[in-house]
Structure 1
Amino acid sequence: MRIVHSLLLTSKYFVLSFILISLISSCETSKAPDDSRTFNEELNIWHPKDFELKKLYSPSEEGMGSWVSMAVDPKGRLIVSDQYGALYRIEIGENDQMSVEKLDINLGHAQGLLWAFNSLYVVVNSHEGVEGNGSGLYRVTDSDGDGELDHVNLLKPLQGSGEHGPHSIVLSPDQKYLYLVAGNHTELPEFDKSLVPMIWAEDNLFSQMKDPNGHAAHIRAPGGWIARTDSSGAEWELYSVGFRNPYDMAFNDDQELFVFDSDMEWDMGMPWYRPIRLCHVIGGGEFGWRTGSGKWPAYYPDNLPGVVNIGQGSPTGVVPTRDLAFPAKYKDGLLLFDWSFGTMYFVNLSKSGSSYTGEKEEFLSGIPLPLTDGVAGKDGALYFLTGGRRLQSGLYKLSYTGQESIAKEANDNISNDAFEIRKKIETTLNKNEIDIDELWSYLSHEDRFVRYAARIALEHQPVNNWKSKLFTETDPLRKIYVALALVRNVTEPGDTKEKTYALLSEINATELSESQQIDLIRVYDLMSIRWGDVSGELKQDVIAQMQPALSANSKDLNQELCALLAKLDAAPAIENGLKLLEDSTYAYSEDEYISSEVANRSEQYGGDIQELAKNRPEERNISIAWSLSNIKSHWTANQRQRYFQWFARAFRKSGGRSYKGYIENIRQNALRNVPDEERQYLDGISAESFPENIDQKTIEQPKGPGRNWKVEEVVALADAKLTEARDYERGENMYQAVLCQTCHAMNTEGGSIGPDLTNLGTRFSVLDIAEAIITPEKVISDQYSNLKFTLVDNKIIIGRLFDETDSTYTVSVNPFSRNALTVIDKKEVSKKENATSSPMPPALINRLNEEELLDLMAYLISGGNKEHELFQ
């Protein structure tokens, strides 16, 4: 099967792979995901009980291509588009009899269709299009009243095509605006006005790492966008930005806009990875997409979070359920289509403050089922398409046949104060005269969306109208959010920079909530990015203000604090960061990855997701490692060794296709900041080949929590508890997990670049063993020491002498890889001496908890003898 698969693979997405997936997975479809759904054996699709599912048409079999978008005209007819071809009109009669005709207009390649204002609006996504009608928004009308569309008018040309080009178009509930969404490879056209302050930037504290595989490396802020216009396309307004590649959007009953944004699956396992998610879009909204490592966390105050994370997939259609003749429980939500995993989700929306929360449930799924678009028909049924990328395409109809009421239930949660405040603020955007004092009061509102809207409204006003008000403010929250607006809008701060730093440094950070502390850190970040670093007493004030929060048990706060302190070149950032790196026991987010069952539906990257779930990377620690890689001073040799040994653990984790490339980029960035005389050695112990003779994936890793073990702590622990019977299997496992076997032999098994440990317990005390592990540089045997070669160009090479001839030295620069050999011409060597650092990294046991450490010590003392008294 794998051989056949490789022969068929001609592009990333291909038709026959879905057939193969269907064959491979057919046995799995007999298992019900839950008892609320039923299986249609003919169509190989799961759907809710008491629903009828029909396949109405197969356009691919009729030579009509692969359909990806659809709309409904006033007569209830469907209008659809082939992704790479023409537009078609479908009339569905009694008993679902089909009549399909090709529209006689020179338009096609549409990824957005809408009937409104007695016209068909078409979003073309194609460089060439049909008869040269390439990417853009078109309006098609019936010019002579004969009932046929015949006049094509280009309203807005767009620069962008392909998978991340222009996509869907929808009508606002008040029927005033057309909203158009485009992916991040679509250039921003000229706009008449903008609800988004047009002052965006990358705004990353450290330089962005571009995707190691090159995807979107040239794309800059603001990424994907949403704009709106009137029926004639006369005036255009930028509405929201910061998306990756949203394909479709919809309004709910509250006339609020939602968009389904995509992920970058190659980033899985990285701290900046964002799952596909449903976003509540407000006027002026920024959602933080940036290329590569630059994506903003959802908790940054200068962008907005998603309503609900879906997991992984390729978002396509979004269908509001209000017009579907479905049971009442489905009336207040949206159906979301995922192309990659053939899954349709229902998200039930509930108001929460001025925004929403959402609960997702799997609604419909199949293998293969590349969902593209859907609409509510005049009969209340759901009509949906499959296809895209030249796959076999289908038109389906899902109707409710049960006895439950389809009337919408009464909803008492019609409105609330926060919701009305946020809506009121949005109406002030782009207005010249507003009440600054009233707006000011909302900047410390408890609701995040209200605070965000108030800040955006403030940024629409001239800075001189509100700047001075900041420096008389006493409320800490208003200080934070007004300072955020100020730093975004003032390009030449002058003395405002020092005044703002001084103002913020007066805030007692311990009195702020965790999220408020993060907001304060983000303002400091932006001040450094846009206004330049602070120095002197103000710098020390900021460090003193924020450093105590590093002890908080918070993944998000710790990684943001570590980054800020690294940027400020604060020495405590190193030790605090290392303690975090040596702790791999923090809790993971539960909603970022789909289940194994859903992952099985896609061969595209379902396997990566399942492997990641079994061998998950330390996302927070990757962020910490990236921050520490940018610190050039204050390091001790011990700290550098502890830092670089972390990379070996990181390389052994699983992630997306770019995971190891990113880890290597972080490592290389760190190596650029180490002294020349240490670089060769640190390079060797941190390379991906470390270690090569043990498959760490088969070894159970320490559960921790670990600590920065000291010699006296180990001795005291052994004296108190080593008399108890220990666990041999766990001791053996810890011996392998902390890499002892990589370099040392025991009972003839293991490495040979360190001393044999078989008789360790008969020759050394617990104190000796603890010192050898924790401070290996204290005593270095000549037999196992490294040599330091200083070359005539002052380059330093450190390693173990592997071979020597009359003219060369052959040096093993990586003690964990026999293949990492460097040949040195003796003529190039100005000095050769013993290295002062140990080949053995320190702190290897810092991931272990007390019980794990005791079992390891027992295993070492016993020489790997299961019958030793310590295990009885």
Structure 2
Amino acid sequence: MPFFQQRRSRGGPALVFMMVVGFAVQAVPSLAADDSDRVFTQKPEVAPSQLRGQAKEPAKLNPEPGKLAQGPAPTWIWGAKLDTRYFLRKEFSGDAKAAWLKATCDNRMALFLNGKRLAQSQEWEAPVELDVRDLLRPGLNELVAQVDNEGGSAGFALKLVMTMPDGSTRYVVSDASWTAADRRSAKTGAAVQTFGTMGVAPWNDVFSKPTGLASTTRDVFELLPGFQVERIFTVPRETLGSWVSITVDNKGRLIASDQGDKGLCRITPAPLGSDQPTKVERLDVKITGAHGLLYAFDSLYLSVNGGPGSGLYRARDTDGDDQFDEVVKLADLPGAGEHGPHGLRLSHDGKSILVVCGNHTKLPAIVHEGGVPHDWSEDHLLPRQWDANGHARGILAPGGYIAKTDPDGKSFEIISSGYRNAYDFDLNNEGELFAYDSDMEWDIGMPWYRPTRVVHATDGSEFGWRSGTGKWPTSYLDSLPPMLNIGPGSPVGVTFGYGTKFPAKYQKALYILDWTFGTIRALHLEPDGASYQAKSEEFVSRTPLPLTDATIGSDGAFYFTIGGRGTHSELFRVTYVGNEPTDRADATDPRFAELRALRRSLEQYHHRAADPAKAVAFALPYLGHADRFIRFAARIALEHQDVALWEKQVLAEPSPEALMTGLVGLARTGNKSLQPDMIKALNRLDFTALDEAKQLDLLRTWSLVFLRMGAPDPELASRLAKQFDRDFPAKSERLNRALADMLVYLKSPTIAAKLIALMKQERGAETTESADLLSRNPGYGGTIARMQANRPDAQKIHYAFALRNLREGWTLDERKFYFQWLETARKWSGGASYLGFINNIDKDAFENASEAERLAVEAAGARKPFQIKDLPKPKGPGQHWDLQAVLSLSPERLSGRNFAQGQKMFSAARCVVCHRFGGEGGATGPDLTQAAGRFSLKDLTEAIVEPSKVVSDQYRATVIATSSGKVHTGRVVNESDKAITLVVDPEDPTKVVEIPKTDVDEQAPSKVSLMPDKLLDPLNQNEVLDLLAYLLSRGEANDPMFRK
């Protein structure tokens, strides 16, 4: 181990861990370029690091950082154009005995003092603080900030406090005296523009604002004992871009791709332990934007987003000059951006290429049956809401997927599905596949939030991602659970440690990279039945560290890149310099080998078998196996075969688990004529007698029988509701969620009262994310930290989400509490879509209440009534519109109308104040959305211009004369033994009068409608016609009346 011996002669591994206080004074990497900026060289340097978990000794601060709060306030500055990179420069006298600096930038900065790199930052919310006394020199000093913006506001702020030899304090702050240049080498610069001093919006006072997060030393790696990190190459962004994928070619060199338009690079890393430089060549190949790279079959395969078009490409060297002169698009993978096609791997047998695709990627043009059966669906028992901010709206199953294709990309097979946006995956020594899937951070705080997760992606697997609120619970037996939930973050590269010169434990580990929190985790896998379990250990972290990809070099080092989204990019490598043996480890683990072998035997039938009867005979006995992964594989094998070969055996299954697993398969692939027999079979199972896992399976099985085969008739629904009601509420939250959904679906008459009672209870204990982890990304982490301080009650939100669908079975008090509870929920903190989801739940629930309940709820102040601040004005000129005048307009003129204008007139004529239409509007009058189904044109016109001619008893006002001589007119919204409550203003349901019955002298229905007349009079002819067409359209903009 010559490198290890050389490192020891320099002071041993202690050097790796003793560079904490001086972390800010890294030298600027020596980067050389030649051959017209096509070849670059750079010598490796050991990066500052400390032992993970090592107590951080406070630096000896002189002057104290507290003095930063004194003296002049820094000014936010930038160059002339907000979208341009600048080098901001300031010269000052530095004859000081102590100095402390604080700086921040929206969005990115690299800070230099007298040519030495101090730090870099990508989070303006987390200013950099540094002791810079050792870099000051007598006489003239120079501060340079390389600043970049990612759109929107831009600003840089800095404050330097120095203690002078005589004890006085001197300050240097960012202000109008700084200059800005577009090149670092520029001798002079232009004047900067200023945006106000610290405290001005939009940044406010980030220098003094507490983050609420644990402090984290910036730009210092935290490592495990014996490991070190070297900076191999600093990527010049203007020339080589920002690297997001990396692989090893057939000669042991690395190949990296820019996310944007800067193409590919080939890297020959400096030999371990040498003083030689790393060589980086910019390849002359017409391809870029690869999120996945793989060298196989004497070719470079690329999974490309954007650039030349989303798809799978192959680059080859056809003339032997060591350059890729041929680039061919093998297959379209329709998808783009960061949710398109991503990582690539060679299959375990070396015959196929595997690719993982995000949920915005459509299926390839040619997909053969095999792996995942093509019978996927959304399968939601209750209606789904799309994301409140519109993300992934309309995207349906199968969601993200992993596909297998031949070396020429001619045909594909989907081997795993139900992902949100897994960026990468890898295979272990047995060919088992593991993927790292992303979360939807906007969902944080909601019951459907799923953290980032690592899954064991067996053949045919389904992991239940569905858009919006539709993510499947992990208990669904038609899906598989994650191997390990990680938490919030942004999954990127994945690789096993095979081939590293690490201790055995770390050679066998699965490494997963998190872009957001700058953390590489080592997952230590252990066989667990036919699958695996894992324990996570933080391997490498730093703030900031926007990780993108990793690979194992031919030299046994662990290489990883940072960058992405146009950010500063670098290449690092991890080596082991400790004392433990690094001999090649045997990754074989014989534990549970027979179960994994059995599962893989079943997976051999995940296609239409040459002998279907043989496949069915092999799979059927394992439908009730104790291992969930084996049951799943057996069902998928059956779903690929003719249903007629196995339906009778499933229906006769005596084992509850086998019966439910088999019935799920029949629901997904069988004919609807099987439903009566399936219901009879399910009726044999006693829900109460089952354990919780089987109860969840039974609820899901019933759900799929209804969703795929047809809804239950009223008699069955009533019987099942009574059966499940006996066991609700249950002891566990996940079973209560499943029962709540089922009982709402079955229209249980008791479920409203039971769920409201649960919503009134105190919340249970909840887990929180590590403050240390969150501090690594103060922007994203700060959002989560604030949420944890005001955490939503996800369990109760689930109950509210289910109840929004229930139309009947409520008391008025229950309705009132429900909407009051939603108002409380609005005060909690969640992800970006949290408040939108709460508002949409409220909207659905209000829509599903009766019109009388809507008015009563608003009158009681339990829900804010519909309000529109500024009603639009009609163009006019108006006229007096009586029934004859409106009907005299030719009916033919109700064609070619303007939907948007009709919608506007619904507000201009004040209809919207009292009436709902298409889910919007007041609640004091009837909902007019379905008016076309109840009224002819004549009847509708008469109701508008002569509102008192015919008044429905449901909406008729009541006149009450009191013994004190007062007369009140309004709609009765509540009547008890003691009092009558009237809404007296149809335009404001909160204006109510409560009259004691002892004070009622006379009560009679009003002969006059609460609806005023002459509402059409301000409108001209076209406006009246557009309004009538709108009212008759049921809110459908594509109604024939609006065709031009």
**TM-score of Structure 1 vs Structure 2, range by shorter chain:** 0.7 to 0.9
- The letter of the residue matching 1:443 is L
User: Relative to 1, partners in 2 of residues 1:262 and 1:14: Cα closer, same or farther, differing over 3 Å?
Assistant: farther
- The letter of the residue matching 2:368 is D
Aligned match of 1:498 in 650, 657, 676? 676
Q: Is the 8 A contact 2:616 2:637 kept in 1?
A: no
| Whole-angstrom distance in 2 between the partners of 1:812 and 1:611 | 34
**Displacement of 1:545 after TM fit?**
3.2
TM-score by length of 2: 0.63
| Whole-angstrom distance in 1 between the partners of 2:845 and 2:1011 | 27
Q: Is the 8 A contact 1:791 1:828 kept in 2?
A: no
* Residue of structure 1 equivalent to 2:179: none
* Residue of structure 1 equivalent to 2:226: 50
Q: Is the 8 A contact 2:372 2:415 kept in 1?
A: yes
3-state DSSP class of the match of 1:69?
A: strand
Q: C-alpha root-mean-square deviation of aligned residues, in Å? A: 3.4
Mapping of 1:802-821 within 5 angstroms? 812=990
**Displacement of 1:146 after TM fit?**
3.2
* Residue of structure 1 equivalent to 2:188: none
Deviations 1:163-197 (A, max 9, x none): 10111101123212210011111111121333111
**Displacement of 1:665 after TM fit?**
1.1
Q: Which moved more, 1:414-423 or 1:670-679?
A: 414-423
- The letter of the residue matching 2:617 is D
Q: Is the 8 A contact 2:108 2:123 kept in 1?
A: no
Q: Is the 8 A contact 1:210 1:293 kept in 2?
A: yes
* Residue of structure 2 equivalent to 1:713: none
| Whole-angstrom distance in 1 between the partners of 2:278 and 2:990 | 73
Aligned match of 2:267 in 62, 78, 90? 90
3-state DSSP class of the match of 2:762?
A: coil
User: Relative to 1, partners in 2 of residues 1:227 and 1:428: Cα closer, same or farther, differing over 3 Å?
Assistant: same
| Whole-angstrom distance in 2 between the partners of 1:249 and 1:163 | 16
**Displacement of 1:526 after TM fit?**
1.6
| Whole-angstrom distance in 1 between the partners of 2:808 and 2:82 | 49
Mapping of 1:220-259 within 5 angstroms? 220-259=396-435
3-state DSSP class of the match of 2:502?
A: coil
**1:101 and 2:281 matched:** yes
User: Relative to 1, partners in 2 of residues 1:61 and 1:675: Cα closer, same or farther, differing over 3 Å?
Assistant: closer
| Whole-angstrom distance in 2 between the partners of 1:99 and 1:82 | 17
Deviations 1:730-759 (A, max 9, x none): xxxxxxxxxxxxxxxxxxxxxxxxxxxxxx
**1:336 and 2:509 matched:** no
3-state DSSP class of the match of 1:605?
A: helix
| Whole-angstrom distance in 1 between the partners of 2:130 and 2:341 | 37
| Whole-angstrom distance in 1 between the partners of 2:848 and 2:248 | 61
Deviations 1:448-471 (A, max 9, x none): 111111111110111111112223
**Displacement of 1:362 after TM fit?**
1.6
**1:386 and 2:562 matched:** yes
Deviations 1:224-278 (A, max 9, x none): 1110112222332111111000100001123210111001100001111100111
**Displacement of 1:395 after TM fit?**
0.7
Q: Is the 8 A contact 2:107 2:124 kept in 1?
A: no
* Residue of structure 1 equivalent to 2:1010: 829
* Residue of structure 2 equivalent to 1:172: 347
**Displacement of 1:675 after TM fit?**
2.4
**1:461 and 2:647 matched:** no
| Whole-angstrom distance in 2 between the partners of 1:343 and 1:448 | 32
User: Relative to 1, partners in 2 of residues 1:808 and 1:79: Cα closer, same or farther, differing over 3 Å?
Assistant: closer
| Whole-angstrom distance in 2 between the partners of 1:540 and 1:10 | 64
3-state DSSP class of the match of 1:516?
A: helix
Aligned match of 2:593 in 416, 424, 427? 416
| Whole-angstrom distance in 2 between the partners of 1:302 and 1:9 | 51
Q: Is the 8 A contact 2:218 2:544 kept in 1?
A: no
- The letter of the residue matching 2:692 is E
Mapping of 1:572-611 within 5 angstroms? 572-588=750-766, 590=767, 594-611=769-786
User: Relative to 1, partners in 2 of residues 1:304 and 1:827: Cα closer, same or farther, differing over 3 Å?
Assistant: same
User: Relative to 1, partners in 2 of residues 1:630 and 1:790: Cα closer, same or farther, differing over 3 Å?
Assistant: same
Q: Is the 8 A contact 1:340 1:604 kept in 2?
A: no
| Whole-angstrom distance in 2 between the partners of 1:488 and 1:689 | 44
**1:509 and 2:687 matched:** yes
**Displacement of 1:810 after TM fit?**
6.0
3-state DSSP class of the match of 1:405?
A: coil
* Residue of structure 2 equivalent to 1:733: none
**1:538 and 2:719 matched:** no
Q: Is the 8 A contact 2:245 2:256 kept in 1?
A: yes
| Whole-angstrom distance in 2 between the partners of 1:604 and 1:23 | 6
* Residue of structure 2 equivalent to 1:153: 328
**1:345 and 2:447 matched:** no
| Whole-angstrom distance in 1 between the partners of 2:969 and 2:590 | 73
Q: Is the 8 A contact 1:307 1:357 kept in 2?
A: yes
| Whole-angstrom distance in 2 between the partners of 1:247 and 1:312 | 15
**Displacement of 1:584 after TM fit?**
3.5
Aligned match of 1:19 in 121, 127, 133? 121
* Residue of structure 2 equivalent to 1:260: 436
| Whole-angstrom distance in 2 between the partners of 1:644 and 1:145 | 72
| Whole-angstrom distance in 1 between the partners of 2:969 and 2:595 | 66
Deviations 1:585-621 (A, max 9, x none): 3344x4xx63122112224421221122222211121
**1:442 and 2:622 matched:** yes
Mapping of 1:684-763 within 5 angstroms? 685-687=861-863
* Residue of structure 2 equivalent to 1:639: 814
User: Relative to 1, partners in 2 of residues 1:466 and 1:828: Cα closer, same or farther, differing over 3 Å?
Assistant: same
* Residue of structure 1 equivalent to 2:792: 617
| Whole-angstrom distance in 2 between the partners of 1:28 and 1:462 | 70
* Residue of structure 2 equivalent to 1:311: 487
Identity of aligned residues (%): 38
* Residue of structure 2 equivalent to 1:848: none
- The letter of the residue matching 1:92 is P
* Residue of structure 2 equivalent to 1:518: 696
* Residue of structure 1 equivalent to 2:297: 117
**Displacement of 1:81 after TM fit?**
0.6
TM-score by length of 1: 0.75
**Displacement of 1:414 after TM fit?**
4.2
3-state DSSP class of the match of 2:761?
A: coil
Deviations 1:713-739 (A, max 9, x none): xxxxxxxxxxxxxxxxxxxxxxxxxxx
**Displacement of 1:57 after TM fit?**
1.2
**Displacement of 1:16 after TM fit?**
5.1
| Whole-angstrom distance in 2 between the partners of 1:481 and 1:508 | 16
Q: Is the 8 A contact 1:324 1:382 kept in 2?
A: yes
User: Relative to 1, partners in 2 of residues 1:788 and 1:136: Cα closer, same or farther, differing over 3 Å?
Assistant: farther
| Whole-angstrom distance in 2 between the partners of 1:3 and 1:639 | 55
**1:80 and 2:261 matched:** no
User: Relative to 1, partners in 2 of residues 1:808 and 1:374: Cα closer, same or farther, differing over 3 Å?
Assistant: closer
* Residue of structure 2 equivalent to 1:368: 544
Report which structure shows greater RCO (CA 8 Å, sep ≥6): 1
* Residue of structure 1 equivalent to 2:665: 485
Q: Is the 8 A contact 1:651 1:688 kept in 2?
A: no
**Displacement of 1:328 after TM fit?**
1.9
**Displacement of 1:662 after TM fit?**
0.8
**Displacement of 1:6 after TM fit?**
13
User: Relative to 1, partners in 2 of residues 1:637 and 1:40: Cα closer, same or farther, differing over 3 Å?
Assistant: closer
3-state DSSP class of the match of 1:641?
A: helix
User: Relative to 1, partners in 2 of residues 1:479 and 1:193: Cα closer, same or farther, differing over 3 Å?
Assistant: closer
* Residue of structure 2 equivalent to 1:561: 739
3-state DSSP class of the match of 2:739?
A: helix
User: Relative to 1, partners in 2 of residues 1:575 and 1:40: Cα closer, same or farther, differing over 3 Å?
Assistant: closer
User: Relative to 1, partners in 2 of residues 1:46 and 1:622: Cα closer, same or farther, differing over 3 Å?
Assistant: same
- The letter of the residue matching 2:355 is L
* Residue of structure 1 equivalent to 2:445: 269
Aligned match of 1:354 in 530, 535, 541? 530
* Residue of structure 2 equivalent to 1:432: 610
**Displacement of 1:814 after TM fit?**
11
Gaps of 5+ in 1: 30-38, 691-781, 793-797, 816-825, 832-872
Q: Is the 8 A contact 1:487 1:526 kept in 2?
A: yes
| Whole-angstrom distance in 2 between the partners of 1:245 and 1:403 | 39
**Displacement of 1:789 after TM fit?**
3.4
Which has the larger share of helix?
1
* Residue of structure 2 equivalent to 1:789: 970
User: Relative to 1, partners in 2 of residues 1:814 and 1:193: Cα closer, same or farther, differing over 3 Å?
Assistant: farther
